[in-house]
Structure 1
């Protein structure tokens, strides 16, 4: 593998991790080093760093928070209803 590609992989451990899991990239980069941007794009998609994947993570987190808030509200209403009037 070319020295410049090895240097890029040394500087970017996430790319090195991705390339080890997908060994076909060794051959692709050896033949055509200009495919580094494509490697970065695929690695970002693999690690969930694309904008749509991040938005989905935020939506899932917000949905979980909303569900927890609803459960807390229902739990408080149930406790308040079970205690009845205080006098």
Structure 2
């Protein structure tokens, strides 16, 4: 692998971690360094950093908060 590509990957901790998880990227990047953008896209998806994944996580957190509030209202209601 070219030293500039390796330096770029090491400058971004998530990419470096992804490269450790998926070692076939060593071979791919060694043959075609231009695939670094494809690797970044896959790493974003792997770590849940894409916009739809973040929106799903936000939605799940909001639903959990609403359930918690409803549960608290049930406990606080006079009997």
Listed as ranges, the gaps of 5+ residues in structure 1 are: 82-87
Q: Which runs of 4+ in 1 moved over 4 A?
A: none
Structure number with bigger Rg: 1
Listed as ranges, the gaps of 5+ residues in structure 2 are: none
Structure 1 counterpart of 2:24: 24
Structure 2 counterpart of 1:36: 36
* CA RMSD, 1 decimal: 0.6
1:9 Cα deviation from its structure 2 partner: 1.3
Instruction: Tell me how far apart the structure 2 counterparts of residues 24 and 7 of structure 1 sit (CA, whole Å).
Output: 18
1:10 Cα deviation from its structure 2 partner: 1.6
TM-score w.r.t. the length of structure 1 is 0.88
The alignment partner of 2:61 has SS state of helix
TM-score w.r.t. the length of structure 2 is 0.97
Instruction: Tell me how far apart the structure 1 counterparts of residues 10 and 23 of structure 2 sit (CA, whole Å).
Output: 16
Aligned residues: 79
The alignment partner of 2:60 has SS state of helix
Asked which structure has the greater RCO (Cα within 8 Å, sep 6+), the reply is 2
